[in-house]
Amino acid sequence: MIILENILMALQSLKTNPLRSVLTLTGIAVGIGAVLYVVILGNITQQRINDRLESLGSNVLLIRPGYSHMRGVRTAQNVINLKWDEAKEIKTTSDVIIAAVPRYTGQGVAEFKDQNWSTRVTGTTPEYETVNNDHPIEGRFFSEDELNRRARVCLLGATVHEKLFGNHSPIGESIIINSKRFTVIGLLGAKGESWHNPDDVVFVPLTTAQERLYGVDYLSSILAQMRSADDYDESLFDIETILRRNHRLRSDDENDFRVRRQDLFLSAVQETNQEIANFIIIIALVSLIVGGIGIANVMLVTVTERTREIGLRRAIGAKKFHILTQFLVEAVILGIIGGILGTVGCMGFNYFFTGNGLSIPLNWVGYSFIICSGIGSIAGLYPAFQAANKNVIDALRYE
Amino acid sequence: MLIKMNNVFKTYVLGEVKVPALHAISLNLEDNEYVAIMGPSGSGKSTLMNIMGCLDTPTTGTYYLGRKDVSSLNDNQLSDIRNTKIGFVFQTFNLLPRSSALRNVELPLIYSGMPSLKRKQLAMDVLERVGLNDRMMHKSNELSGGERQRVAIARALVNKPSLILADEPTGNLDSKTGEEIIEIMQRLHEHGNTIILVTHEEYIAKQTKRIIRLRDGVIESDEKKI
Ligand SMILES: Nc1ncnc2c1ncn2[C@@H]1O[C@H](COP(=O)(O)OP(=O)(O)O)[C@@H](O)[C@H]1O
Ligand SMILES: [Mg+2]
């Protein structure tokens, strides 16, 4: 009951000095705005990383050629000793690796009518579709049969599709890749920007790429899918055992291939973002402290200015507790208004730079509410005690 | 017996110096008395009023208000007494300037925890009694001095106090407005209120039923009219 009255009184007294109140609140507003912005930033980053992990397929290891070593000295990049048979062997031999997708990627020029586009051509097997979770949005992936027949069929990445066909459906059309005629059987969905454009690609059967287009018998990489992320050590052991034996490496030779977890790159991105976030958090903390001091200061001024009012209230029956809560509530309300300004400011800032509106998670709106009230009550505590402990008569006589 | 003061001393301590403000005051007061306190400036009138109004406590001596020994009460209990038994009217009005007349009059009832609706009704009734029916929603800084003091009287009345204390209520008013205020006091007395007022004006004091004169913290004379 009395709290409600206190809130009304507080709002009224803030109204009487709006400019001073607003100036006081800048610190809190900036602090809360920064905290929320970090949250938004973190959420966006996490969302991107999750999307990316999703599109990579979970638990995927990337095996790529490494360097040869002669008596411990690195010689040249060895690009030709990773073979399809090895991919098959890794999959069948290891208990923890449930799929091993071979890939050969080369440069190519794709032509359709008078359009042509220079792009990457990746030969792979039908397993690629499920392991990479990359399903055609139109048409289909190629089959085992087409793989065995070295069929001249292809799937287009979104960028290639757009460059050659614009908005038209490419399914069933025939295009030229490196002077050879291919039938388009599928179209892959856009995955968006990344460190390289994952949509600027044409997929063909591995056999077609190796034998018809590029005349090679080796691979650019193997994607190995683990049963779960916990199987990393065992998977690595299996891969190393098989590849080292096949490549006839002696026990003191270093690996001539590299195995990388796909999520490592992402965690690097995450770390950078974390550093930015930490920096903003420090700014936020400083602003919040400054804001708290600002509130404490303005409350001290208010308490002095309103000494007679305090005396009067006490004279007509207010207890110390009433005066204490009145000024405490006022400080908390200052804090909360600061928080609201910060939230709105942050949303505006975010809208201005990213163009999307309400992306502050509701629970964080709640947290910032709690933070602001907390700062307000801490900042208001000392001034409120001062107010409550004023001598009634002196306060009434105060000029 | 409403007030029973026995051998009350009040001494203010200002650093090293002791300022005696009241000296061996003994005083009884019945319900429905109408008293003027007079005396030169600095004679202890306000100090006596403050003690009677439970804003302050005697340095030594006893003060009974009703059956309560005020010197034994703690701060919260004193607040309660001020809230329910005392109505103050100050020389400088002491209204909340940006609040409406109604809101100012409601204030004591807020602290006694009365529900909003009942409180508003009571406050409006009292404002009507002091003749401010058409000024209730005016902010107090939009009112004239006389109107302000009437709001202050309404505020002092709203909790139906046993004792109304007015410390130089006409001190900041011109004589005509002052007389209006004294008329209201007179009427309140006729309706059964107990009133003590401090004044410098003999003609005001003459309208009361009892005049207590103070000098240097001592009761110089205490005359009752019969
Ligand atoms: N809070 C105080 N601190 C110190 N001295 C005070 C205080 N209040 C009053 N006095 C002193 O006590 C004496 C009586 O003051 P007061 O009761 O205000 O007189 P009056 O109201 O009759 O003018 C004066 O000498 C005054 O200076
Ligand atoms: Mg005085």
The CA angle B124-B128-B130, to the nearest 5 degrees, is 120
Percent of chain A with pLDDT over 90: 52
Q: Cβ(B33)–Cβ(B26) under 8 Å?
A: no
Under DSSP, is residue B166 helix (H, G, I), strand (E, B) or coil?
strand
pLDDT (average), residues A183-190: 92
Nearest-CA neighbor of A40 among A355, A376, A335? A355
Q: Lowest-pLDDT range, A6-10, B89-93, B100-104?
A: A6-10
pLDDT, residue B210, reads 97
Residue of A nearest to B105 (CA): A316
- Check whether A263 has a pLDDT greater than 70: no
Q: Which residue is it, tokens 């009241």?
A: B22
Q: Does B77 touch chain A (CB under 8 A)?
A: no
Cβ of A315 within 8 Å of Cβ of B110? The answer is: no
Q: Lowest-pLDDT range, A19-23, B13-17, B36-40?
A: A19-23
- Integer Cα distance of A26 and B173 in angstroms: 45
Atom 11, ligand 1: residue with shortest CA distance:
B21
Among B13, B98, B110, pick the best mutation site for testing chain A contact (most A Cβ within 10 A): B110
Q: Is the CB of B199 under 6 A from ligand 1?
A: no
Q: Domain B3-224 class?
A: alpha beta
- Integer Cα distance of B43 and B200 in angstroms: 12
Cβ of A319 within 8 Å of Cβ of B98? The answer is: no
B residues 122-141 near A, CB within 8 Å? Answer: none
pLDDT, residue A186, reads 95
- Integer Cα distance of A381 and A388 in angstroms: 10
The separation between CA A36 and the C-alpha centre of its own chain, rounded to angstroms, equals 15
pLDDT (average), residues B114-127: 95
Name the average pLDDT for chain A: 87
pLDDT, residue A130, reads 87
- What number of helices (H) and strands (E) belong to chain A? 13, 12
Amino acid identity, position B224: K
pLDDT, residue B131, reads 93
- Check whether B225 has a pLDDT greater than 90: no
**A132 or B133, which is more confident?**
B133
Confidence band for A79, pLDDT divided at 50, 70 and 90: low
Percent of chain B with pLDDT over 90: 96
- Check whether A1 has a pLDDT greater than 60: no
pLDDT (average), residues A115-134: 91
Confidence band for A253, pLDDT divided at 50, 70 and 90: confident
pLDDT tens digits, A287-330: 899 999 999 999 999 999 999 999 999 999 999 999 999 999 99
- Check whether A232 has a pLDDT greater than 90: no
pLDDT (average), residues B92-99: 92
Q: Cβ(A319)–Cβ(B75) under 8 Å?
A: yes
pLDDT, residue A280, reads 82
- Integer Cα distance of A27 and A31 in angstroms: 6
pLDDT tens digits, A40-61: 777 777 776 666 665 565 578 8
- Integer Cα distance of A224 and A235 in angstroms: 9
Cβ of A319 within 8 Å of Cβ of B76? The answer is: yes
pLDDT, residue B44, reads 96
Confidence band for A269, pLDDT divided at 50, 70 and 90: low
pLDDT (average), residues A200-207: 95
Q: What does the domain layout of chain B look like in residue ranges?
A: 3-224
pLDDT, residue A34, reads 86
Q: Does B80 touch chain A (CB under 8 A)?
A: yes
Q: Does A319 touch chain B (CB under 8 A)?
A: yes
Please report, in angstroms and rounded to a whole number, the separation of the first and last CA atoms in chain B.
18
Under DSSP, is residue B43 helix (H, G, I), strand (E, B) or coil?
coil
Confidence band for A357, pLDDT divided at 50, 70 and 90: low
Q: Lowest-pLDDT range, A170-174, A229-233, A371-375?
A: A229-233
Q: Ligand 2 center to residue B38 CA distance, Å?
A: 10
Atom of ligand 1 nearest to the CA of B214: 22
pLDDT, residue A361, reads 79
- DSSP category for residue A104: E
Burial of B78 (0-12, 13-18, 19+ CB in 10 A): buried
Strands B3-14 and A136-139: unpaired
Q: Lowest-pLDDT range, A188-202, A213-227, B27-41, B172-186?
A: A188-202
**Residues in chain A within 8 Å Cβ distance of B108:** 316-317
Confidence band for A66, pLDDT divided at 50, 70 and 90: confident
Cβ of A315 within 8 Å of Cβ of B99? The answer is: no
Q: Lowest-pLDDT range, A262-266, A316-320, B156-160?
A: A262-266
Atom of ligand 1 nearest to the CA of B167: 21
pLDDT, residue B98, reads 87
Alpha helices by DSSP H, A149-261: 158-165, 206-207, 232-246
Query: Between the CA of residue A175 and those of A146, A164, A203, what are the distances in Å?
Result: 17, 9, 13
Atom of ligand 1 nearest to the CA of B48: 17
Among A316, A320, A322, A396, pick the best mutation site for testing chain B contact (most B Cβ within 10 A): A316
pLDDT, residue B80, reads 96
- Check whether A147 has a pLDDT greater than 60: yes
Q: Cβ(B66)–Cβ(B2) under 8 Å?
A: yes
Q: Does B71 touch chain A (CB under 8 A)?
A: no
pLDDT, residue A252, reads 82
Q: Cβ(A22)–Cβ(A186) under 8 Å?
A: no
pLDDT, residue A390, reads 96
pLDDT (average), residues A232-248: 90
Q: Record the tokens describing residue A333, joined without a space.
A: 């309300």
Q: Ligand 2 center to residue B43 CA distance, Å?
A: 8
Of A5, A317, A321, the CB nearest to B108: A317
pLDDT, residue A353, reads 77
pLDDT (average), residues A386-392: 96
Q: Ligand 1 center to residue B18 CA distance, Å?
A: 12
Beta-carbon pairs below 8 A across chains A and B: 60
- Chain A nearest-CA distance from B225, in A, is 31
Q: Does A7 touch chain B (CB under 8 A)?
A: no
- Check whether A195 has a pLDDT greater than 60: no
Percent of chain A with pLDDT over 70: 89
Cβ of A1 within 8 Å of Cβ of B113? The answer is: yes
Highest mean pLDDT among A17-26, A254-263, B26-35: B26-35
